[in-house]
Each structure stands twice: as C-alpha cells, then as structure tokens.
Amino acid sequence: MAKDGLTEFRLVGTRPDRPDGLDKVTGRARYGADISAPGMLWAAVVRSPHAHARIVKIDTSKAEALDGVKAVITRADFPEGLTGEAWNLQENTMAGDRALYDGHAVAAVAATSAFVAQDAARLIEVEYEVLPHVIDVDDAIKPDAPVIREGAADATVPEGMPPNVVRYMEFGHGDVEAGFGAADLVMEKTYKTEATHQGYIEPHACMGQMGEDGRGEMWVCTQGHWFIRKMCTDVLGLDPAQLRVTPSEIGGGFGGKTTIFMEPLSLALSKKAGGRPVKVVMTRSEVLRATGPTASASMDVKIGMTKDGQITAGRAEFRMQGGAFPGAPVDFALMCGFAAYKMPAVEHIGYDVLANRPRAAAYRAPGSPMGAFAVESLVDEMCRELGLDPLEVRLKNAVHEGDKASYGPKFGSIGLEEVLQATKAHPNLLAELGPNQGRGMASGYWFNHSGDTSVSLAISEDGTAQVSVGTPDIGGSRASIALMTAETLGIDYEDVRVNVVETGALGVNEPTHGSRATFASGKAAVMAAEQAIGEMCRRAAAKWGIDPEAVEWVDGAAQPAGPNAGKFPPMTIAEIAAKMSSTGGPIAGHHESVPEGVGASFGTHVVDVEVDPETGRTTILRYLVVQDAGRAIHPAYVEGQYQGGAVQGIGWALNEAYIYGEDGRLQNTVFLDYRIPVASDLPMIDTVIVEVPNPGHPYGVRGVGETGITPPLPAIANAIHDAVGVRLRSLPMSPPAVLAALKAKE
Amino acid sequence: MSGAVSVHLWSSLTRFTDGARVVAVEAGTVGQVLEALSGAYPGLEPILEAGVSVVIDDELVTDHHSAVPEGAEVYLMQRIKGG
C-alpha cells in the first residue's frame, strides 16, 4: 500500500538494486574521460592569467612547429557575426579581443599526446594589455566601475542604470508601506553570499570528431546532450543534423553540466586536424577557474511582523553577479525568497550585474539558496526579537493550495503544511543541547520544471521492455523510470532496462535539470507504456475476435473487460510478445511532449551545531531534512537527493567560496583550498519523505533534486546564532568569520 | 474562440505598457495572448521572444496552443528552468 493510504502499488515506493550500481563500484562505468578512439589527439587550452585584459597579439608559430602538434586554434578559427546567446556562448568558449576573467580560454592546441599538447600550449605567446577589473557585485554595480561590455543590457534595463547592469526586474503585489505600517516590528538587514562551485567529482571531459564534410560525433559528460549539440553547432556555425552526441556516464552535474565550455574546442581542433578525434579533459583547476559556478549575491531584505508572528509585508532588493555574461539567477532568488509565506504585500527588485568572473551556470535550485539565506535569516532574527517559536511562525504564515504566491500566481497542490507538521513531530527537535550548541531551522522552495521530452519503449520478444530516454541519469532516474514502467506494464522491475541514448535516437530532450527527469521522462515513459499496452490489447482482441475496447490490461496481461466481452483466459505480455512477428510486427510505444502538471516542492531543515569559541569552527551535530516528494518512486534515491542537497548547502554555508586576490585571480583552484564537506565532516543526515501526491503526474511525482540545497544556508546561520549569540549575515561562516564575530561581540 | 483575458506582468515590464501591471487582451490560446501582447505593446516583443513562463490560474502552461478560459488570470513570469 502506498504511503498516502489510497493507492496500492507493486513496485512504486520500493527500493530495488540500482541498475548502475555494479558498473560504478567495479569501475566498468564509462565516464567522459574514459572514451578513446583510434588516431585520437589530446587537447590543451591556453587560459588568460588576467581578470580583464585586451588581447594585443597571439603568436602560435612556435607551438605549430613542435613535433606532434596537429592543430592550433584561436578565436580567428570561429565564425563571425553571431548575436545574442550564441555570441555569449562563443565568447565564453574562446575570448575575442578581450579576456574577461582569470581562466578565460584564448587558444587551444591538439597534439599526439597530452604532454606534447601541454608543451605546445606553453609555447603560445599571448601579449595582453591589462585592464581594470571588478570582482565584487557591490563594486560592479557602481556607476564608475570598470565596464565589462558596452551595450550588454537587455530591454528590461531602464536608461540611466549603471553600465554593468544587464537585466533589471521588479514585481510584487499589495501595499507594502501599509503592510509595514501595520506591523509591530519592522526589520531590514543586508546579507551576502559568495559564489560557490557545484563541486562535481568528475571534471568536464569530451572527445569530439569533425570532418571536413561537416559531419561529426561527440562523446561527452553532460546533463543534456541535445543542449550540447545545439550550443556547439551554434558556436561553430555547423548543421545540427550532422552532429551526433552521445552522453557518457556522469559523475555529478548539479546544473553545471547544462551548458558548454570546452566542447566546441574539440570539434574545431578536430576539423583543423583533418578529422582526427580530439579529447579534452579539464583539470580541477580549470574546472574551478573556467566553468560555471553560481552567482554571488548582495541582498537587502525588509519584513514587517505583528507581535504574534503574522507577516504583514516584505521587500527584497537583490544584486547578483553571474560573471562576465548575463544570467545570474536573481529572478529565481527573488521568486523563491518569500515563497513559503502568505504575503499580503511584497515588493521584489533585482539587478543582474556583470563582473570579471567566469560565467555562472545553473547550480541546484539556481538562486533559491541565496533568497532563502536572506529571508529565512531575517525571519529568524525577528522571531527571536519577538520571542516567538520560528516553527510556529512558519506554520502561521504557511502557504497552501490556492494561496497567491509571493511571485504572483496561485499555488496548485503543495505540501508545506505537511512538511512543517512532520518537522514538528520529529524527535530531533527534542534532543537536548549543551554549551555552545544551538538549533536552527529554515524552509526552502523550488518550482520544478518540465521541458522538451521524448521517450520510446520497445517490447522484446520475451515480454521484457527497454526504455530509451534522453535525460542522463544523475540521481537515480533509470531506477525510477524502470519502476514506473514496470508498474504500468505489470512486469518485474528487473525486466525493464532504461537506456540513456544519443541525439539521433529520439526527439529533442532538455537536459536533466530542474528536477525534471523522474517527473518528465517518467511521465513520458508511462505514456509510452500505455501506448504499447493499447497495441497489445488490440492484438489480444484480434485473436479473440472481440472489440479492442472490450479488452483491459491487468497485472501484465490482456483480459476481457467484463463478462459481456467473452470468456477468454488472460494473455500475458510474454505470450503476446512471443507472437509479435506474426501479429503485426514489433510492439513499441513512444511519447513526445512538454509534460504539464509540474508539482513544486517545499522542504524544511533543522540543524544542531556546536561552535568552538576558541577556533570559530562549527560542527554539525544533527541534521534533519523534511521535504515533500509528491511520491517517492525509489525512496533510497530520494533520501540520497535530500542528503546530497543538504551537504552541498552545508558546504556553501560553512566553507566554500571563490577567493580572489587583489589582481582578480582566483586563489583557491584545487579542492585542498576550495573546501567541500566530506563524509568525515558530517553526521548521517536524517530524512523524512513527506508525500503529498502531485495530481499532475500519474504516480504523483514532484521532483526532489533541488529544494534540499536551499534551507541549509539560513538554517546553519540561525543555529550558530542560537549557539553563541552572533548573527552572521555573510557567507561562508568559516572559522575565521565566526571567530571575528565572537570577538566583536566581546 | 477568444475572450477577454487579464495578463499580469512583472512590473519592470510596465515601462512598455504605459504603466499597467495588468493588461487585458482578446485571446483564446496562450499563443494568441503572447501575439496580442506583442501587437499592443511592441516593446514587450524581444522579452517575449527571449522566452517567458506562462501560468494560467495555478498551472504552468508550455503549449502555446493551450486554451485560455475566458476570465482566466494569466501570469507572465521569468522563464523557469533549473540546475
């Protein structure tokens, strides 16, 4: 019986073995760098050592003369005349007349070995004229800041804004000033978050091959190979139909592998090298300097609250830099910031600002963690000021189905109330705290997403099934799609194999992003299975000589739908499949759509910390994640998503940050200096799966991948305050930062 | 079949709608809503072309052929995706 007590499932909600488990633990899984081919060349990339510089001259003659070098490229090898996002992608792939950040690619070389390629890269001479740079968002938005690019602002930016503002937004509803006037307490504070990296274990890697005839192949580690195909062909002026892209197994992405970085270089080098395949594998330093971290933020938040905890109004003004290109997720940060609260009046203002940093990419619930850090920290500050229980205040102001969201429309089915009640009932809230220990809580939100989806399903001769999907499996989607497909067909989980297939095999698919794979590819797989079931019912009806509408599908077999349909023994899927060749040929199903019915997901986290007053180090003692999954198809994977999101949020809160020197160069370019949490830093993360089924999905799925990274930032800040009485409004809350706050308090 | 539909805009777009946060258009589908907006307020066209998310009442709708019931509340939002 499913956990909602209403629907009985054979498989959905169970925890079978992972289909990729054996391959991964035995080393058999093939990741991006594992792909090789006869005649393959190796690439190396020359990157700018300056944050901002005019490229005066590039001399490649010495590199070209080196034995073993087969191709050298600069921006001169790329087509001209691109505009809009295609130009942004090209400019980020290879600098044009200026290097815009430390690590920006300026040239690349392909050679017969990785060592020769690296030697050749060192022989490429680049003459720079160093220009003034700007790193911090509050500096970048000043009217006299160094200008990253004239004319980059889009139509939303009114005239007269500072030159690095490239997108501007305002939205809200209600009378905010009247709301503040009705409050007993109004507080306004400023919060800052630093840029962090997704920290996936597998660096970017690909092998590209492109012939003189414009036909090519790519094997690549990515969240979305149709995006790779479109972006590469846009940047290089190629025909998308002639490029076939095959995804590898993926060692983490978290949003950072939804775009291109060095992939077009492999194709351009291959073409110049006579069509020999070219492999590019980034070092960790290249990943940190030159791929897509998230944005940094500076945020002013103002909230009005009555003495009994009713929120009367809110205002948020967020400034974010997303590197030297537009796209900082300030819009989502604003939309998610107040999402957990019924807001009678709210005003949002946002600025997307350019700075001399690498172009931001998506990172798990893009923007939402920053918005939560600002709003959920201030809500906690106000609860303490008024002597209110922060959980009760969240319950009092919680949004429900039909309420107007802070960002405009009404909510559909949501489970925030259920999440908060499950949190309230958890035993972690009763654990006693000792000296220098404290407890903090916060909620988080993500919309979830659908997108272009194409799935096909083939019934084998023995009645087993293979499902072809276009969403790379990052967090367990092969297992969840197999479970839903097997449930629908009425066969065993082990009798379904889900394959992530290349771009030639399906219609266009958006990447695995927006927590969409189990929702969208899963929904499409169920639709494809139902199409195949319809065909199998027709074949049974033909054998029985009855109307197809008089046949139903029960427990993996066709059977007459009622006594009037006739008396025939059930015909199993294996029996129908065995006769497919003589009853009309192959049996398959497919589905293509942008599946509608996306269900949003709320979560609440509670963390207990201990702060060492001598060092400022914060230790996580206990950590609880409670989140609405809609329905957990494979609960172990759902728990893994909850735990993974929490751990990334803990890293963002306590340690991770892009640290730049005065020269604008990134100083922490390896994991020794860019400190992500490891298992020994953390206790087991406790999880509670709340299930408020999403009516827009056949099995109630919402999508669970992103919300979990949102609450840790404010929850930990709130816990540190509870432990030692200091409020940190800037991240990371590293030992030196906490120690400084403790000393300031003295 | 088309009827009067109220479209809620994020307020920085009001520069292109003579200050109106909610505008009325005659439309029967999502695509017609967007076409009517571009026709009435040409300044919106590049923003709509770049991509927006459309919510009808409480449902995010992606198919531009989807019907918009008369009297529905339509919200334009920044295009949602994810990480």
Q: DSSP for A402-434, please give it.
A: TSBPTTSSB--S--HHHHHHHHHT-GGGG----
Does the beta-carbon distance from B10 to A408 stay under 8 Å? yes
**Looking at this protein, which amino acid is placed at residue A279?**
K
Task: Please answer yes or no on whether A172 and B13 come within 8 Å at the CB atom.
Answer: no
Is 50 exceeded by the pLDDT of residue A1? no
Is there a contact between A335 and B78 if contact means CB atoms under 8 Å apart? yes
Q: Under an 8 A CB cutoff, do A408 and B50 touch?
A: no
Task: Taking residues A485-495, report their average pLDDT.
Answer: 98
Query: Which residues in chain B touch residue A168, judged by CB atoms under 8 angstroms apart?
Result: 12
What is the pLDDT confidence band of residue B13, given thresholds at 50, 70 and 90? confident
B8: nearest CA partner in chain A:
A408
**Given an 8 Å threshold on Cβ–Cβ distance, is A170 in contact with B11?**
yes
- A residues 326-365 near B, CB within 8 Å? 331-332, 335, 362-365
Tokens in use for A550?
């008089």
Yes or no: say if A711 and A649 are a contact pair by the CB < 8 Å rule.
yes
* Beta carbons of A170 and B12 less than 8 Å apart: yes
Domain boundaries, chain A: 413-448+599-746, 450-593
Closest CA to A44 of A104, A113, A90, A147: A113
Tell me what pLDDT residue A2 has: 45
Probe site for chain B from A83, A88, A156 (most B CB atoms < 10 A):
A156
Q: Is B47 on the interface with A (CB under 8 A)?
A: yes
**Mean pLDDT of the region A552-570:** 95
Res. A5: pLDDT tops 60: no
Q: Percent helix, strand, coil in chain A (nearest 5)?
A: 30, 25, 45
Give me the amino acid identity at A390: P
Contact with chain B for residue A275, Cβ under 8 A:
no
B6 touches chain A (CB under 8 A): no
Residues 21-40 of B with CB under 8 A from A: none
Mean pLDDT for the stretch of residues A611-629: 98
Report pLDDT digits (tens) over A98-139: 999 999 999 999 999 999 999 999 999 999 999 999 999 999
Q: How far apart are CA A640 and CA A685, in angstroms?
A: 9
Between A578 and B63, residue with greater pLDDT: A578
B-interface mutation test, from A449, A453, A641, most B Cβ less than 10 A away = A449
How far apart CA A587 and CA A135 sit, in angstroms, is 58
Beta-carbon contacts of A579 under 8 Å, excluding residues fewer than 6 positions away, are: A539
Beta carbons of A356 and A148 less than 8 angstroms apart: yes
Nearest CA in chain B to A403: B58
Tell me what the pLDDT averaged over chain A comes to: 97
> How confident is residue B4, by pLDDT bands cut at 50, 70 and 90?
confident
Is the Cβ of B49 closer than 8 Å to some Cβ of chain A? Answer: no
Please, what's the b/e burial string for A181-201 (b: 16 or more CB within 10 A of its CB; e: otherwise)? ebbeebeebebbbbbbbbbbe
Determine contact: A562 vs chain B, CB below 8 A.
no
All residues of chain B having their beta carbon less than 8 Å from the beta carbon of residue A408 are 8, 10, 55, 75, 77
Contact (CB<8Å) A156/B57: no
Under an 8 A CB cutoff, do B62 and A594 touch?
A: yes
Q: Which of residues 499-528 of A touch B (CB under 8 A)?
A: 510, 513-516
Q: Are the beta carbons of A158 and B15 separated by less than 8 Å?
A: yes
Please give the Cα distance from A443 to A603 (Å, whole number): 6
| Contact state of B81 with A514 under an 8 Å Cβ cutoff | yes
The residues, ordered by sequence, that sit 6+ positions from A467 with a Cβ below 8 Å of its Cβ are A455, A456, A457, A481, A482, A485, A496, A497, A498, A499, A525, A528
Cβ distance B82 to A155 less than 8 Å, yes or no, reads no
- The 10s digit of each residue's pLDDT in A151-192 is 999 988 999 999 999 999 999 999 999 999 999 999 999 999
Residues A31 and B79: their CA atoms lie apart, in Å, by 32
Q: How many CB atoms lie within 10 A of CB B66?
A: 16
pLDDT in tens, A32-47: 999 999 999 999 999 9
The yes-or-no answer to whether A413-448+599-746 and A450-593 have a common fold is yes
Choose among B78, B13, B82, B51: nearest CA to A709.
B82
Q: How far apart are CA B48 and CA B64, in angstroms?
A: 12
State whether B43 and A449 contact (CB < 8 Å).
Answer: no
On chain A, the residues whose CB falls within 8 A of the CB of B83 are 198, 254-256, 258, 362-366, 513-514, 706
Q: Is A668 exposed, middle or buried (0-12, 13-18, 19+ CB in 10 A)?
A: middle
Q: How would residue B78 be classed by pLDDT, with cut points 50, 70 and 90?
A: confident
Domains of chain B in start order, with CATH, are 3-78 (3.10.20.30)
Residues of chain A with Cβ-Cβ distance to B16 below 8 Å are 155
* Interatomic CA distance for residues A70 and A150, integer angstroms: 37
pLDDT band at B1; cut points 50, 70, 90: low
> Scanning every residue of chain A, which has its alpha carbon at the shortest distance from the alpha carbon of B21?
A171
pLDDT band, residue A7 (cuts 50/70/90): low
**Residues B26-72: tens digit of each pLDDT:** 999 999 999 999 999 999 998 898 888 899 988 888 889 999 988 88
Question: Taking CB atoms and an 8 Å cut-off, how many pairs form between chains A and B?
Answer: 98
Element (H, E) at A620: strand A618-628
pLDDT for A279 beyond 70: yes
DSSP 3-state assignment of A113? coil
Contact criterion met (CB < 8 Å) for A169 and B82? no
Q: Is B64 in CB contact (< 8 Å) with chain A? A: no
Question: By the CB < 8 Å criterion, does B13 face chain A?
Answer: yes
Work out the percent of chain A whose per-residue pLDDT is above 90. 97
> What is each CA distance from A566 to A175, A537, A538, A541, A544, in whole angstroms?
68, 14, 15, 10, 9
Query: Which residue from B minimizes the CA distance to A595?
Result: B62
Place of tokens 């949490």: A677
**A597: closest CA of chain B, how far (Å):** 7
Mean pLDDT value across residues A613-636: 98
Find out whether A52 and A356 touch, Cβ atoms under 8 Å: yes
Fold of A413-448+599-746: Aldehyde Oxidoreductase; domain 4 (3.30.365)
Distance CA A248, CA A502 (A): 10
Strand order in the sheet with A216-220: A69-73, A105-111, A41-47, A278-281, A205-210, A216-220, A243-247
CB-based contact A156 B77, cutoff 8 Å: no
**Residue pair B31/B48 in contact by the 8 Å Cβ criterion:** no
Share of chain A above pLDDT 70, in %: 99
Task: Please report the DSSP string for A50-103 in residue order.
Answer: SSSEEEEEEE-HHHHHSTTEEEEE-GGGSPS---HHHHHHHHHHS--SEE-STT
Nearest CA in chain A to B63: A594
Indicate yes or no: CB of B10 within 8 angstroms of CB of A598. no
Lowest mean pLDDT segment, chosen from A117-121, A396-400, A580-584, B68-72: B68-72
Nearest chain A Cα to B66, which residue? A596
Taking only residues 202 to 261 of chain A, the set having a beta carbon closer than 8 angstroms to any beta carbon of chain B reads: 254-256, 258
**φ, ψ at B49 (rounded to 5°):** -65, -35
Cβ–Cβ gap A155/B73 under 8 Å: no
CATH number assigned to the domain with residue range A450-593, chosen from the 4 options 3.30.70.920, 3.30.1300.10, 3.40.50.720, 3.30.365.10: 3.30.365.10
Whether residue A169 and residue B10 make contact (CB cut-off 8 A), yes or no, is yes
Helix (H/G/I), strand (E/B), else coil: A714: helix
Q: Do residue A409 and residue B62 have CB atoms under 8 angstroms apart?
A: no
Residues of B in contact with A171 (CB under 8 A): 10-12
Cα A567 to Cα A559: distance, rounded to the nearest angstrom: 9
Q: What is the bridge-based pairing of β-strands B52-56 and A98-99?
A: unpaired
Place of tokens 């800041």: A145
A363–B12 C-beta distance less than 8 A? no
User: In terms of CA atoms, which chain B residue is nearest residue A159?
Assistant: B15
Q: Give SS3 for B33.
A: helix
